[in-house]
Structures are given as C-alpha cells and as structure tokens.
Structure 1
Amino acid sequence: MNVRDILVEGAGASEADVHAAQISALVARSRAAQQAFGSAGQQTLDTAAAAAAWAIMEPSRNRELAELAVRDTGLGNAGDKFRKNYRKTLGLLRDLHGKKTCGVIARDEARGIVEIARAVGVVAAITPSTNPAATPANKIINALKCGNAIVVAPSPKGHGACEALVGFIHAQFEKAGLDPALVQMLPAPVGKAATAALMREADLVVATGSQANVRMAYASGTPAFGVGAGNVASIVTSTANLREAAHKIAASKTFDYATSCSSENSAVIEYAVYDAMLRELAACGGVLLDARQKAQLQAAMWTDGKLSACCTAKSATQIARTAGLDEVATREPAFLMVEETGFGAGYPFSGEKLAPVLTVYRARDFDAAADAVHSLYAHMGAGHSVGLHTGEPHEAVTLGSTLPVARVIVNQAHCFATGGNFDNGLPFSLSMGCGTWGRNNFSDNLGFRHYLNITRVAYPIAEQVPALDALLGDYFRRFGQ
C-alpha cells in the first residue's frame, strides 16, 4: 500500500496532505542516503559527480535526452541541446576537477583559521522547461560533488527528459555502488503544491526558471538561491570589428532558438556604424522587418501583454509563418530583426522574447548606448549581464561600474560566454545570479561553493592591536578630532 492509499484509507486526507506525505517520504529517503554519503570521503563524492556527468555526456544518452527534450517541450532544437548538454557538463567537470569539497579545505596559519567543508544536506532543485536535462544535470553534479542528496522538481513539460536523466544516473550509480536515493525527482504530475512541499522539506533550494518559481523559493522559509529575469542587451560601438560582432551576436541569438536567458534580446548600435552593422547582421541570416511586418509579428508573439507559446523557442522561419509573414519565411531567415525606439510595457520588443528575434536600437554614442541599456533594464533584466563589442576594452569597466549588471561580456558570443566558456574565466553554470538588482541574494554564476557550508576553526594567534592613528590618522588630519 502506498502513501496515498494509507492516507485515503485513514481520515480522508486532502490533496495537500497527500503531497506533503509523499514529499516527506521522498525527502526522508534522501536524508538517510545523504547521511552516509556525506561522510564517505572525497573519492566517493568525486565518483558520484563523475557518474552523473557521464550519464548525460555519453553520446547515445545525450542524443536521446536532447531529442526527448524537444519532443516534450516543443522548445529549441535537438542538435544545439546535444552540444549544450555536453559542453556545459564538460566545463563543469573542468571547474570541479581537483577541488576539495569535504574535510579540511584551507589553512591560514597567519590568521589561525582552518576551513572545513560541510554538506548542506538535501537540495531541492527547481528546473525549467528550456533546459530539461542540462540544468538538472548541472545541479545534480554540483550537489553530489559537495556530499549532498538532491531532489529535482522539473517543469511539467520537462518531466520526461528529467526522468530519463535520473534513470541514466541511477544506472551509473549501480555500477559504482552508490545509493540511487541520492538523486530523486518529484513524480508526475509536478504541480505547485508538490514543489512547495519539497522546498519546505529541503535544506537548500536552488531555483532556475520562471520568476514565480524563484519568488516561491525565496518565500519557502528554506535558504534559497534563485535567479533573476533575463533580457540581455549588447552594445556595438564604432570601434568594434563589425563582422566579428555580427557573427557572435547571430550565433548567440540563434543557438537552441534562443532558449537561453543569456541570448541577446537587443543590440544597441552607435549611429556611426548602425547601417553597416545591420548589413553585417543581414549577411549572418538576419532579416529586418518593416513597420507593417513588425506589427504583425508583435500581434503573433504577444497576447494580452504575455508572450505566446506559439513563438517561444521556435525557428525564425516558423515564427514568420505563424505571424503570416510568408514573404519572410520563404527567405528562411536565421533570425528576425525589428527596430525600436522605446522601452517598457508599451514596447513589448524591449523585453525578453525567448525567440530568435533581435530588437535593434540606434545610439548617438557610447554614453547614449549605456543609457539605453539602463532604460531596458529598468523595464526587465536588471542584474543579469550586458554584452559589449568594442575596440576599446576599458569601456567594459565603465559599464561594470555604472550599469545594474553582474557580468560584462566583452567581444564574445553572449549566450556561450555568460555561463562560462573555455575561452573565458567565468565558471560553467546554467544559473546566473543577478544580485540585488534582480532581487537575488547572489551575483555569481551558481557553482559548487553555493552547495556547501563552511565551518571555520579559529586558533589563538599573537595579539595584534593596531594603533588608532594608523586607522583614523588621515581622517583626524583632514577634519580634526
């Protein structure tokens, strides 16, 4: 007899009671498995992380997961998901390789401090339909590397891909003699009640996906890391290599049909190179719509101010057909472009589109371009990141010092670079913190250290009391005492 049968046979439990009992039993299994796993030593933790990584990276399994993700969600394309599953996991393995995540991890003899890594316990992972295999795998590997158990709450559409992934991980665990209860997921159908119950029962929540899920995570009463909304803009200055910039923006804009929150939604281009840059974007497969075509596209993409699923993460050709733009669809565009001048709810193309549609803005100069991005992020996307294509790299520091962004991506394809790449130093992740600008409590790429507690042992050292003048002397000399 299962939990539901017991409850129903008993006092006629409500659906919420059934959910709570199911989740309690699931988390109890996780907690029991984690208590043994967390003290098993670094080699066991590394083995578990490697097993989960190979579960998704092995080509035949990877292909199955990619195709299943597209079939079930209708989002993106299998070829790009295949590449994403592999590269994101390979990059994460690189970041984790050789890292100590249990026992003593640091000693500072001068300060008398010893740091000890401790598991957080049971992690609740909330994952989106846009990456129903890559994002769960990333969170599972990080959690295991740090000695935790993890329970995934996938999006309803992504349940099948996540279930297949967990099955592949369990098969690898069996070979390695690991407890399958270390990696579990909510049973279908996944609803808000079950997800909320899991959040309450877990020791840590890591939430990626809709802002509704992120807000629910923060309100759960359990410590949580959640991410902000995307709406990335890239600035193209008059000193940029336009051909390279166009190819990078196009590659980023079209990858997996723009399912990534790091895909450019807008390009802000300086006047001096505006027309030339549009020509370069056109050479990369972009098609600029006229005012009538733009209006038709807007009507297709938004219904009552909300993005329509009929255009989300679809090919540009399919989107054009959906909008009745057959004359555009016959050109088989790689992405669509619309010109815009305003920002905010009255200008829907100024927001996140999750589609291969790029909004282009003119800007008088670099300062005006930065102001335009400020206006974009005042509407949506504050805290995430900004792209910059320029021949003057110091301009990036200006943007990083003035814009509400946690990352400035210089002369790179944004959606590949923001979450870590092999040609930059950012850690690989599919969850980007947006700081207080995006109403998040962190501004890093979510990584393994977010899955750890650190205990610090403090030994006595020789007393070192500073002289007051060494600390306040400059203030006293300038302003008196």
Structure 2
Amino acid sequence: MVNVVDKDLVSIQEVRNLLNDATEAQKELATFSQEKIDNICKAMMAAAYDNRIKLAKMANEETGFGIWQDKVVKNSFASKAVWDSIKDMKTVGVVKDDTVNKVTDIAVPVGVVAGIIPSTNPTSTVIYKALISIKAGNSIVFSPHPTALKCIKETVDIIRNAAVREGCPAGAISVMTKPTMQGTAELMKHDMTKLILATGGSAMVKSAYSSGTPAIGVGPGNGPAFIEKTANISKAVKHIMDSKTFDNGTICASEQSVVVEEASRQAVVEEFKKQNAYFLTKDEAQILEKFIMRANGTMNPQIVGKSIEAISKLTGLTFPQGTRVLIAEEERVGMKVPYSREKLAPILAFYTTKTWQEACELCIEILTNEGAGHTMVIHTEDENIVREFGLRKPVSRLLVNTPGTLGGIGASTNINPALTLGCGAVGGSSTSDNISPENLFNVRRVAYGMRELDELRGEDINLVENSSTACSVSTPTATSASKDDLINKIVEAVLEKL
C-alpha cells in the first residue's frame, strides 16, 4: 500500500504549530523591558552582519538572481544600517509622555506577524523584517518563497539562535519549512496572525490584503527617472547605471525608464554609451521584449536579476563586450508594452519629450499604468521643477539627484532605512511609509480630563437658551387638534416673537 503524503495538509499543520508557538512566545516578549528587547535585537543584528557574505552567496546560488557581492551590501544594510536607525527608538511601554497636555502614549505590540519573503531579496528581507518585528515586541512567522527556502531557513536559524542566547523565546522567530500556497494562505488568514508584512508579486500582495487580516503590502515598482536639462548629465547617468546594475536590478525601487527632453537628448544618449549602456536597434528591441513579459502579462522570471550575458544567451542577441545596461527607445505606455513596465533586470526604456511639462505628464502616465504610489527619480538643478513634480506625482518617494535603488530604501537618502516600501492609498497600500517598528505597534493613549461640559458650552449656552425660549409654545396634543392646526399655531407663535 502506497502512503501518500498531502503536502498542503502538512504545510497547513506546520503553520498552525508555528503560530501556536509564536503566540506563546509573543506573550513572553510583551513582558520584556526596552533594554532586554534592544539587547536581543542587537544580537540578531550582529549575527546577521557577521554572516552577511555567507548568506549572500547562498541566496545567489540558490535563486540564480542578482550578484552575490551586491547581496552582501543588502545584508549589511538590512542588519547594521536598519539597526542603527532604530536602536534608540522607544517601542516598549511608555513611548511619549506629554505632561503639559496630560496625554501618555503606550506602545502595544500587534502580536504575531506573518512575514512573506520574495526570492529576489530573500536573506536581507528576513533580517530586516525580523529586526523591526522583535524591536516592536512582536513574534514573526516567515513564509519563504520555495525557490529560496534553503537560504531563508539558514538566515532564520542564524538570527533566532542569536536571539535565544539573549533570552528571546525560540518561538518568536520561525519559518515554514514546507511552504505551499495553501500553507501560506493559512498563515495569512489564521486568527492568531495579527498583521501581514507582504513583499512579493502583485498576486501575493493582493492575496494578503484579501485575507481579512490587517496587512502592509508593497505593490510593483515602475519608477521613471527624468533627466531634466539643467541636470549634471554625467552624474545623473552614473546614478541610473549604478542603480540599475546593483544586484542586476532586483530592488523594486530601481529605475525602469529614462525620460529626457529633446534639448538634452543627444548629450544624455552619448553619456549612457560612454558608461557602457547599449541602445538596442528596433529589431533587437522587438526580440528582447518577447522575453520581458509572459503571455499572462506577468514578468518573466527568466530575466529577473539576470546578467547581460545571461540575457544574451536567453535571447540569442549579441551585445558589445562590457555592456552594463540594455536600453530600448520607446514611445508607448501600456500593460501590453513590456518596456513601459517593471523590469527587475538591467533593462531600461528611453523616452523623449519636448518639454519638462510633457515629461511630467508622461511620468504620471507611466506610473498610473504600473507602479503608482511607489518611487520615481528626478535629476535637476531646478528646485521649482522638483516642487512641481513633488506636488503632482503619484508616488510615495520622489528622489532627487540620487540612485533610485539606494535612495528608495534610505541608503543614500535620509528617509527610514527599509526593505518594505509602502505605496500609499494610490498604490493600494495601507501606508506610504518606509516601514519601521513604529508601523508594527499600536498606541494606547492615556488622556486626563482637562475641560468640563460648561466650559465646552461656553457662549453657545446663551444661544441654546434663547432658541429654546423663542420656540417654546403650548402645543395641543395630537388628539385635540389636526396636524394643519398644530403647524399653524407653531408658525404664529414664532412670528409673534420676531
């Protein structure tokens, strides 16, 4: 007799067990002082940082995405840079005490967090989400992308062991080892899960928001980069090239298209070529675009995080030695126009407009088509144009004179260092923040009474009394007069007072 194992049932049961342990662990975490929580997080950070190279290599080998040296930088950012930004943050007990207005804010952990982890940034995202969750007094259960299971599990083991040595309950940080779609659905929908941190494709984020559990999700990025004619062109192109080649473009804040004005077009094209970008011919562009999107309109995983060499082998196209980024000139925008969409690979669309006003409208069109609420970049020396873009663009991060990848996550800018970037209401997200521990606890407010009802009424009490006197009449009951008679008597009484 063949013993058939139902993988979905096994996965669902594992999730329930992990949630039980996480719930009990979180109850214990909720009793810890700020100092103890911080010591645990510091140990987690140090362990992740010490293993940043090992984990980067594992992620690259297992998924085939990106560049392991760049993944080292991401692991360092997710551990050390994130910790440096949150280490002094008050997240336990009283976080604010306003003695003047007599209002006290008390941090209340949300409970058990479900951490959905993508294959593009697996180890760094685990480190980051674990740090901000534990810092806020929550436990976290990870749902790993199946193609990155080994490196995700190793990351969880490393940071959990470090946390446990500092007194953290073991169940506070855990990971599904038998991930299935049904198991992940159970994790997101279960009553014990109090919040979902969803990073992944559009379908996964939509599923998180449809689960019935509060969620913070990240939609697709599709940020254009506008090089305005006053920009330092050489520096702007360098920023874009550095950003688009970083880990082969796997961070969703990376630039997806370049927009220029006719006046500076030639100079920009020459600078891109100088920095080893290759402009595709029309025939080459038509061949490559067939590999960018699948028939169902989703991004083709065969190009995600791949090098120019890998793209060459996949498409049969030949590019000059040393090519860093492929650029296709484009005029169209739409869901069926691959170059106008998100491409997590070293591939860019290139648009030309007559004026910066036309560029502004084109950027809005690109973002509205895909990537609304996420990120875009502008390179310019004109502060007035920056202001106009800031007022009108449907993004949560408008980055100025910086690489999109590094600026969006807060590495080259002074916004919160984060690997989960909210897209706001316009992007279907619950927040526009770079997610930090402050997004992962509720606030209980203790507020003292400061005013009495008589004070609140103030001068309005005289108006109320005068109005009552003016309208006070002796009205017959409904049984002694008809409705018309009653109305007439009220009108007459009011008129007499005028």
User: How does the TM-score come out when normalised to structure 2?
Assistant: 0.87
Residue in 1 that maps onto 2:252: 261
Match of 1:170 among 144, 147, 160: 160
**2:292 corresponding residue in structure 1:** 301
Distance 2:363 2:118 in 1: 26
* Per-residue deviation, 1:87: 2.2
Number of residues of Structure 1 aligned to a counterpart in Structure 2 = 453
Which of residues 113, 117, 125 in structure 1 aligns to 2:115? Answer: 125
Aligned to 1:409: 399
SS at match of 1:352: coil
Segments of 5+ residues of structure 2 without an aligned counterpart are 461-498
CA contact (8 A) 2:279 2:326 kept: yes
Q: CA deviation at 1:169?
A: 1.4
Q: CA deviation at 1:310?
A: 2.2
**Is contact 2:368-2:394 (8 Å) kept?**
no
State the AA in 2 paired with 1:193.
Answer: Q
With 133-142 and 21-30 compared, the bigger mean Cα shift is at: 21-30
SS of residue in 2 equivalent to 1:287: strand
- Give CA-to-partner distance per residue, 1:161-219, whole Å, 9 cap, x none: 1111111113313432322211001112x111111111123111110111111111111
Alpha-carbon distance between aligned partners in 2 of 1:467 and 1:264, rounded to the nearest angstrom: 58
> What secondary structure, in the 3-state scheme, does the structure 2 residue paired with 1:385 have?
strand
1:138-181 deviation line (CA, Å, top 9, x unaligned): 11000010111110111111111111111111331343232221
The whole-number CA distance in structure 1 between the counterparts of 2:363 and 2:377 is: 10
**Aligned AA (2:45):** A
Distance, in Å, in 2 between the alignment partners of 1:183 and 1:223 is 20
Aligned partner of 2:174 in structure 1 is 184
- Of 399, 407, 426, the residue aligned with 2:415 is 426
Please say if residues 297 and 320 of structure 1, whose CA atoms lie closer than 8 Å, have aligned partners that are also in contact.
no
State the alpha-carbon separation in 1 of the partners of residues 305 and 419 from structure 2: 17
CA positional deviation for 1:33:
1.2
Q: Distance in 2 between matches of 1:299 and 1:262?
A: 23
Q: Cα distance 1:36–1:83, how it changes in 2: closer, same or farther (>3 A)?
A: same
Identity %: 31
Matches within 5 A, 1:306-345: 306-326=298-318, 328=319, 330-345=320-335
Q: Distance in 2 between matches of 1:132 and 1:16?
A: 23
Letter in 1 for 2:418: S
2:34 corresponds to which residue? 42
**Residue 449 of structure 2 corresponds to residue 457 of structure 1:** no
Q: Does 1:439 align with 2:428?
A: yes
Match for residue 196 of structure 2 among 205, 220, 241? 205
For residue 278 of structure 1, give the secondary structure of its aligned residue in structure 2.
Answer: helix
Shift of 1:319: 1.0
Alpha-carbon distance change, 24 to 467 in structure 1, aligned in 2, over 3 angstroms: same
Q: Which amino acid aligns with 1:41?
A: S
Cα distance change, pair 126–303 in 1 and its aligned pair in 2 (3 A): closer
Distance in 1, matches of 2:407 and 2:163, equals 32
Q: Could you tell me which residue of structure 1 aligns to residue 486 of structure 2?
A: none
Structure-to-structure mapping, 1:106-125, within 5 angstroms: 106-125=96-115
Cα drift, residue 88 of structure 1: 3.2
Change beyond 3 A, Cα 1:232–1:300? same
Q: State the SS of the aligned residue for 2:255.
A: coil
1:352-381: CA deviation from partner (whole Å, max 9, x where unpaired): 111100111001111111111111112111
Show structure 1 runs of 5+ residues with no match.
Answer: 1-8, 470-481
Shift of 1:402: 1.0
Task: Give the secondary structure class of the aligned counterpart of 1:460.
Answer: coil
Amino acid at match of 2:140: I
Question: Aligned equivalents of 1:466 and 1:77: distance in 2?
Answer: 67
The question of 1:98 aligning with 2:83 is answered no
Cα distance, 1:346–1:13 mapped onto 2, change above 3 Å: closer
Q: CA deviation at 1:223?
A: 1.0
How much does 1:393 deviate?
A: 2.4
**How many angstroms does 1:436 deviate by?**
1.4
Residue 375 (structure 2) aligns with? 385
Partner secondary structure for residue 373 of structure 1: helix
- What displacement does 1:467 show? 7.9
Contact kept, 8 Å, 2:292 with 2:338, in 1: the verdict is no
TM-score of the two chains, using structure 1 as the length reference: 0.90
| Partner residue in 2 for 1:4 | none
SS state at 2:95 partner? strand
User: Corresponding residue for 2:366?
Assistant: 376
2:209 and 2:168 map into 1 onto residues whose CA distance is: 32
Deviation for aligned residue 1:25: 1.6
2:224 is aligned to: 233
Mapped to 1, the partners of 2:451 and 2:300 lie a distance apart of 65
State the alpha-carbon separation in 2 of the partners of residues 406 and 156 from structure 1: 30
1:343-354 correspondence runs (5 A):
343-354=333-344
* TM-aligned CA deviation for residue 15 of structure 1: 6.1
Instruction: Please give the alpha-carbon distance, in whole angstroms, between the structure 2 residues aligned to 1:17 and 1:338.
Output: 47
What RMSD over aligned residues (CA atoms) do the two structures have, in Å? 1.9
The Cα shift of 1:40 comes to 1.2
Greater C-alpha radius of gyration? 2
Determine if contact 1:393/1:410 at 8 Å carries over to the other structure. no
**Does structure 2 conserve the Cα–Cα contact (< 8 Å) formed by 1:56 and 1:137?**
yes
Alpha-carbon contact 2:40-2:167 (below 8 Å) kept? no
Change (3 A) 1:314 1:378: same
Task: Report if aligned partners of 1:287, 1:333 keep a CA contact under 8 Å in 2.
Answer: yes
